[in-house]
Amino acid sequence: MEFGILGPLRVSSGDGVLDLGAPAQRTLLAVLLTGPGTPISDDRLIDELWGDVPPPSARHLLRVYVSRLRALLLESSDGRRIVRDGAGYALRVEPGELDAERFEAAIEEARPLVDRDPEAADRILATAMRLWRGSPFVDLPDPPPAVREHAAHLERLRVDALGTWMDVRLRLGRHRALVPELADLVEQHPYDEALHAQLMFALYRCGRQAEALETARRLEDRLREDLGIDPSPEIRDLYRDILLQAPHLSLEPPEPPGNLPSRLTSFVGRARELREVTDLLDESRLVTLTGPGGIGKTRLALEVARQQRSRFPGGTWWVDLATVTEPDTVLDQVAGALGVAPMPGPALLEAVARALGRRSALLLIDNCEHVAAAVADLVNELLRATTGPRVLATSRVPLRVEGERLWPVPPLSLPLDVSPTAELARSDAVQLFVERGRTVNPRFALDAGNAAAVGEVCRRLDGLSLAIEMAAARLSVLSPTEIARHLDDRFALLEMTSVGRPTRHRTMEAAIDASHALLSERDQAMFERLAVFVGPFDLEAAGTVGLAHGASPDQTLAAVAALVDASMLTPERDRDETRYRLLETLREYGLARLRRRGVEDEVRQGHAEHYLDLAARAAEVLGTPDVAPWMTRIALDYAEVRQAIGWSLAHEPRAVTLRAAPALREFWIRRGDAREAGRWTALMLQGDLAGVPAGLLSEVHGAASYGALPANELPTALSFADEAVRLSREGDSTQALLSGLWTRASVALALGDFDAIRRDSLEALEICDWNHDRWGRAGPLSNLGFAALFSGGQLAEARARFEEALPLFQDLGNRSLVVTVLGPLSETVLRQGDLPAAERYAMEAIEVASGTGWEASALVQYGMTLAKRGDLQAADTAAARGLRIALNAGLENWFRMALRHLAQTAAMRGRLEDAAALLGASRRNMPAYGLDPAVYGPLEEQCRDGLGVAQFEALAQQGAALTHAQLLDLVDAPADATSADAPSSPLASRGPGAPGRTGASQAGLTREQIAALDEIDARQRLDGARSRPKD
């Protein structure tokens, strides 16, 4: 495990960077990291977290944060990290795990080497400075005193270390590269005389005597005007020596030899990649950069060589093998680059080895893939015969030389889908597009109008630098939006005919052709077949779809390994599982070849068969704990499952497609994804259903009912549920009947028909008892709990039912239904007056539901417990987050429940106008069980008394007419005022039809999603008007 405080607070393990949670939790970890291993008392931690006015629950919150951090760190370590020691807590950090400790250790290691071995000191200090990712704890918005003091201490160490490092580099004659760095440091530290002296010395050595003297004069003026002191004698002496050009100020040594080509265009981005490759060259004598054509291997290697020239006094030599066609001539190319005269046979290899010998040189061998075996033999011989040189190679395939360090070149960093323009501009891919675009269209600039299109182009081109340069070249005739549209036929778009550009880099298709040609016929065919995948896939799928049926695991592994080695397939590792994907541009290339060969439909049928079989196998264990890993697998492969269903619906009989329905119904419910359920079941029920088994049709109707239920389309949901039960009775699937009864009971709950809930749930329990189905009891038990809770507050019965159902759902690994029990169980015990238990159940529900739509219900319920405790700010934060998740997941019922909760807290704050509006909004589309008189009665009475009946009714009606987007605006209004200073309601300046986009944008919704929500709003208002009785 690694702890990082030299920059944003970060903790990482073998599984990646950890999510450290809420700001206060991060701050607690930061305080503990200021003194790892040292106990810090509870009182001091509370002071650090909340200052002079801690909340009443501070000690409880401290324990909660410690517990969460322990759980987080324990998941990724071999023992408890945060230990109780006396009256406080200490964080156990092993040696080498904290970047600040490694930094201080490196400084101590380098200090005695400054005079004795400056090269070694330089390497150590360079490694130390690379640990810095920014100012210490920079991501903490309001760090406590202990963190600020520790950050200041580390900054002082950094400045001292920088000064030492600058001295070392000046001794090594690297003054030319130091001038811009020192100039920046002097601006940051305007009174630091040592830094000014180093800048003066560096400028003088670069032949810039006048600027060196001016630097001294500026320092003198600044010290006298700002501090009232004179420069030190050392500065005055250096000024005099520079003025007199004293002999001991030696001039710049000659540049190391080499033949690196001059840059014709700028090098953009890749700061992290430059550091990592440089570090690898420190560790290994042979580093090979691999990756597909157009990823930027050559540009990166050349930039590393340019930046590291001073490290290799024996020279930096570039050998380009792009035009070499005969393996026997590879040695001749290397000899020519080094200036070794031609000679026959082994004598030439010996001469090249002598030329390199013990020299500290860098040999950059570029474009090795088509003569990889010859390059490997040569490099192996040279590294064994020499001690000084290092080799940096670029190749689409590994060289497979002993000691080789492979470094796959990643795509350029890409922006997120919804990045703002400023953040977009920081991505390497966008910077490259903009910079190359300006070479053909000098007026082009990234702005809010074109940023989304530029981001889309870069993402669809997978961050491939060559493809982005080719796309940017089209800015002379097309806008970014038009370029994005033309990417559907990208190979006609992506070409460039600049003079001097290699043939293989004149079109993107030619670049991929070169890689494709290196593959065997078997691997070519597999690559093309794998192009039907839309996302990552596992080894089994690669074999089933990419190779003929019956391929052994060994054959599959060998073929996949060949494609990975050839940089045509990208491995992605998550914990212990490796999955594979094709970059989109490679995928489009493979699909084009499939179509030309006329076998695309055959391959897509195999793809669909594989994933429909996967769902069918999952259906065999529905209703048992064995289904949980299958649901995880479907989640990983869901993009492929969707594609398989779509293709099968268009090309195969419904009976073939619908065998996936039982598992998909379970999957959609577990994810809380009502929109997906509604969309796909509507398509499944179209067309000819003859020959489809009744049990499968029952499952589809059950899923369709679930799809309609969260959107409050209750008549539709009930109709589908009735049909699901009818069909299941016709078939022979007990599982389908249990699912149908559970679904219909769920609809009855929304309708408030508690007799129907009990009838269907009791029948389901009888079936389970008859079949000895222990886990099947979970669903009907939970529904009976709902009936007891919401039909009259039979709290003891409700609690007993929920507590019996909960472990059964947990055994089944069904997170969604675990949450649907934990939430009402929390509400039940809250009504019984057991606030700690209510909080515990609600927090458990949030943890279980994380990443699914059901998190909405857990957050709303947690908000209720926080409100009961009196923490209204935290309660509103939880409910508002739940509201947004519900909106994105299509869970209309929990969107309205969140509004109801926010109405309660608004009233508790004295914001009665907002409370009335939210109350009215919550009633619309609220399921019957949510219209609890015990909640609405007192709340409406408080609003009527405070506002008057007329104003309350007007605001409630106005709230009921608001769109989803406008309701988000209302929720985003400040919520920390009391009745005395509450601002006027946002409704005062916004009519029911006024646009409200701010909240929708903050909810992370696209313009298309907002438009769809408004369409739903309009349709629901129209439906409501039609259903109202006429006067």
Coil, strand or helix at 974? coil
799 pLDDT more than 80:
yes
989 pLDDT more than 60:
no
User: Quick one: residue 714, left, alpha or beta (phi over 0 = left, psi -120 to 50 = alpha)?
Assistant: alpha
Name the CATH architecture for the domain at 1-172: Orthogonal Bundle (1.10)
Distances (CA, A) of 302 to 299, 320, 469, 890: 5, 11, 18, 51
- Are 662 and 617 spatial neighbours (Cβ–Cβ below 8 Å)? no
Q: What is the DSSP string of 637-678?
A: THHHHHHHHHHHHHHS-HHHHGGGHHHHHHHHHHHT-HHHHH
- How many whole angstroms separate alpha carbon 62 and alpha carbon 649? 54
Percent of the chain with pLDDT over 90: 11
991 or 198, which is more confident?
198
Task: Return the residue matching tokens 């009745």.
Answer: 979
Q: Which among 824, 825, 843 is positioned nearest to 929, based on CA atoms?
A: 824
> What's the pLDDT tens digit per position in 279-316?
999 889 999 999 888 888 888 999 999 888 888 888 88
Question: Burial code of 190-209, b = ≥16 C-beta within 10 A, e = fewer?
Answer: eebbbbbbbbbbbbbbbeeb
Burial class (CB in 10 A: 0-12, 13-18, 19+), 971: buried
- How many whole angstroms separate alpha carbon 642 and alpha carbon 548? 23
Phi, psi of 929 (to 5 degrees): -65, -20
Q: What is the pLDDT confidence band of residue 974, given thresholds at 50, 70 and 90?
A: low
- How many whole angstroms separate alpha carbon 694 and alpha carbon 689? 10
Q: Which among 592, 601, 598, 607 is positioned nearest to 545, based on CA atoms?
A: 607
CB-side neighbour CA atoms (13 Å) of 703: 31
Other residues' Cβ atoms within 10 Å of the Cβ of residue 943: 26
- HEC string of 760-791 equals HHHHHHHHHHHCCCCHHHHHHHHHHHHHHHHC
> What's the pLDDT tens digit per position in 910-961?
889 988 989 888 888 777 767 777 788 888 889 988 989 899 899 988 888 8
Question: Burial code of 8-46, b = ≥16 C-beta within 10 A, e = fewer?
Answer: bbbbeeeeeebebeeeebbbbbbbbbbebeebbebeebb
Q: Which among 235, 245, 241, 188 is positioned nearest to 215, based on CA atoms?
A: 235
Distances (CA, A) of 466 to 272, 298, 369, 428: 19, 11, 18, 13
1013 or 604, which is more confident?
604
Question: If you average pLDDT over each of 381-385, 412-416, 889-893, which comes out highest?
Answer: 381-385
887 pLDDT more than 60:
yes
> What's the pLDDT tens digit per position in 826-872?
988 888 899 999 888 888 888 888 877 778 888 888 888 888 888 88
Q: Which among 300, 317, 316 is positioned nearest to 394, based on CA atoms?
A: 300
Q: What is the pLDDT confidence band of residue 701, given thresholds at 50, 70 and 90?
A: very high
Give 411's DSSP letter: P
Q: Which among 905, 833, 831 is positioned nearest to 863, based on CA atoms?
A: 905
78 pLDDT more than 60:
no
Provide the pLDDT for residue 999: 37
Other residues' Cβ atoms within 10 Å of the Cβ of residue 290: 23
Q: Where are the domains of the chain?
A: 1-172, 271-408, 421-508, 627-751, 860-1027
Q: Which amino acid is at 600?
A: E
Q: What is the DSSP string of 296-324?
A: -HHHHHHHHHHHTGGG-TT-EEEEE-TT-
Q: Which two tokens stand for residue 519?
A: 């593959």
802 pLDDT more than 70:
yes
- How many whole angstroms separate alpha carbon 361 and alpha carbon 378? 16
Q: Which two tokens stand for residue 95?
A: 């040696």
- Are 122 and 168 spatial neighbours (Cβ–Cβ below 8 Å)? yes
Provide the pLDDT for residue 976: 43
- Are 129 and 135 spatial neighbours (Cβ–Cβ below 8 Å)? no
195 pLDDT more than 50:
yes
Q: Which among 713, 747, 678 is positioned nearest to 1027, based on CA atoms?
A: 713
* Residues across the chain: 1031
Q: Which amino acid is at 54?
A: P
Provide the pLDDT for residue 605: 92
For Cα atoms 502, 505, 508, give the angle at the middle one, nearest 5 degrees: 160
Coil, strand or helix at 56? coil
Provide the pLDDT for residue 611: 93
- How many whole angstroms separate alpha carbon 50 and alpha carbon 856? 29
For Cα atoms 84, 85, 87, give the angle at the middle one, nearest 5 degrees: 95
Task: Please measure the distance between the N-terminal and C-terminal CA atoms of the chain and give it in whole angstroms.
Answer: 71
Q: For domain 271-408, give the CATH superfamily.
A: P-loop containing nucleotide triphosphate hydrolases (3.40.50.300)
Other residues' Cβ atoms within 10 Å of the Cβ of residue 688: 9
Provide the pLDDT for residue 1028: 36
Question: If you average pLDDT over each of 441-445, 610-614, 848-852, which comes out highest?
Answer: 610-614
- How many whole angstroms separate alpha carbon 466 and alpha carbon 833? 65
Alpha helix (H) residue ranges in 890-1006: 892-909, 912-923, 933-947, 949-960, 964-972, 998-1002
889 pLDDT more than 80:
no
Provide the pLDDT for residue 1012: 44
Phi, psi of 927 (to 5 degrees): -60, 155
- How many whole angstroms separate alpha carbon 337 and alpha carbon 382? 15
Q: Which of 134-143, 600-609, 962-971 is least confident? A: 962-971
610 pLDDT more than 60:
yes
Q: Which two tokens stand for residue 618?
A: 């999952």
What's the fold here for domain 627-751?
Answer: 1.25.40
> What's the pLDDT tens digit per position in 32-45?
888 888 888 888 88
Q: Which two tokens stand for residue 979?
A: 């009745």
The rounded mean pLDDT for the chain is: 83
- Are 31 and 146 spatial neighbours (Cβ–Cβ below 8 Å)? yes
Burial class (CB in 10 A: 0-12, 13-18, 19+), 179: middle
74 or 213, which is more confident?
213
Q: Which among 341, 359, 361, 337 is positioned nearest to 350, based on CA atoms?
A: 341
966 pLDDT more than 90:
no
- How many whole angstroms separate alpha carbon 950 and alpha carbon 953? 5
Provide the pLDDT for residue 603: 92
